[in-house]
Amino acid sequence: MSSILCLLSVQDGRIKRSSLEAMSHANTLARAEGWSLEAVLLGSKAADLAETAGRHGADRVLVIKDPVFDSHLNAPLLAGLEAVVKAASPRLVVAASTESVKDVLGALAVRCDAAVLPDVASFSVQGERIVCERPVMAAKKLARTESSHPLVFVSVRSGSYEVKEAQGAGTVVDVPFQFDAATLGLTLREIVKSAGDTVDLSEARVVVAAGRGVRDASGKALVDELASITGAAIGASRAVVETGLFPATAQIGQTGKVVSPDLYFAVGISGAVQHTAGMANSRVIVAINKDPDAPIFDLATYGLVGDCFTILPLLNAELKKVMASR
């Protein structure tokens, strides 16, 4: 029997929502094709999360309980994933398009002799072909792309599918693995976490994003306050990250992260294509910009033309009232 193998990314002891989104769709496809659905979990706590994988449709959960996977490093991850792909010999491998996955996807495809459809917005099985749609030209176009290669890897943009529970057997299978650190051509010296990230940007239901119009620390304080009132994650444009006011992990767009929350506030952001490539799929977009011709207004559900330094204090006060009455 053919199968779909889902690579599940773990952060802060939880399976990332984007991984469960991709697996939920993979489950739908697997059931329609009569294929099995398998999940992969790597790291010292891998087995603890197998139950969650089972609850989202996994028939088997392939685990490697090795602490080498607890912080991201591409060489061991590649070796681990190679072992798992070879053990499962699936038709299709599905993963969320996280930075860790992007880091190894191409190399893994060479190692496993696979074709890759990266960063897709949707995918399906059509007979011998795996077909997907992926944004191109800074998300101004969608390219329908396909592969008939016997093994295909697909990475999925966050927010492309809903998470759906589906009971699978969730049988845990330990995959034998040994990694010789002496063969490493690289070492991880340090991980510099950016301070103040309380909500994961790519999973947030509400995002407050700041642009160059936010300008300085007093603007940042207003943005922070709006985020705390609405329980939002904080995003930023490249221009404002460059000023050092916001961390690079907050950057949204073609170079940065892709988000698709229910509610997106764009504060002092012009709406360059490289920025909108990362947020155009948000359900409701609120834009605050003093330039009535700013391109962000073309995407905005609600556009407010005005100075964010005047608008945000009023908005924060008003939202505080509404939230307090809940």
- State the residues that interact with ligand FAD by CB under 6 A: 211-213, 237-240, 251-256, 268-270, 272, 274-275, 278, 288-291, 294, 307-309
Cα–Cα distance measured from residue 79 to residue 81, given in angstroms and rounded to the nearest whole number: 6
Q: Residue 139 touches which of other proteins, ligand FAD, none (CB < 5 to 8 A by kind)?
A: other proteins
CB of 99 to ligand FAD, least distance (A): 13
Binding mask 302-321 for other proteins (x = CB under 8 A): xxxxxx--xx--xx--xx--
Residue 66 binds other proteins, judged by CB under 8 A: no
304 in Cβ contact with 311 (< 8 Å): yes
SS3 at position 11:
strand
Indicate the residue among 56 and 275 with the shorter CB distance to ligand FAD: 275
Name the residue nearer to ligand FAD (CB basis): 39 or 240: 240
What element of type H or E holds 314? helix 308-324
Scanning residues 206 to 245, which ones bind other proteins (CB under 8 A)?
206, 230, 238, 241
Contact between 80 and other proteins per CB under 8 A = no
Task: Give least dist CB 62 to other proteins, A.
Answer: 22
Least distance from ligand FAD to the Cβ atom of residue 235, Å: 9
- 199 contacts other proteins (rule: CB under 8 A): no
| Six token digits for residue 106 | 């191409």
- Binding residues for other proteins restricted to 247-276, rule: CB under 8 A: 248-249, 251, 254-255, 262-263, 272-274
Of 115 and 163, which CB lies nearer to other proteins in the complex structure? 115
Q: Which amino acid is at 250?
A: A
**Cα(179)–Cα(250) distance, integer angstroms:** 33
The Cα angle at residue 52 between residues 50 and 58, in degrees rounded to 5: 70
Q: For the range 71-74, what are the long-range contacts, defined as Cβ-Cβ under 8 Å and sequence gap of 24 or more?
A: 71/188, 71/191, 72/99, 72/100, 72/103, 73/184, 73/186, 73/188, 74/103, 74/104, 74/107, 74/186
Best CA proximity match to 234, nearest among 262, 264, 256, 213: 264
> Which residue lies nearer to other proteins by CB, 142 or 166?
142
Q: Please give the structure tokens belonging to residue 268.
A: 């002092």
Closest residue to ligand FAD, based on beta-carbon distance: 253
323 binds other proteins (CB under 8 A): yes
37 vs 280, which CB is nearer to other proteins? 280
51 vs 291, beta carbon nearer ligand FAD = 291
Amino acid symbol at 113: D
Smaller CB separation from other proteins, 29 or 319: 319
Within residues 100-119, the interface with other proteins by CB under 8 A covers 100, 102-111, 115-119
66 exposed, middle or buried (CB, 10 Å; 0-12, 13-18, 19+)? Answer: middle
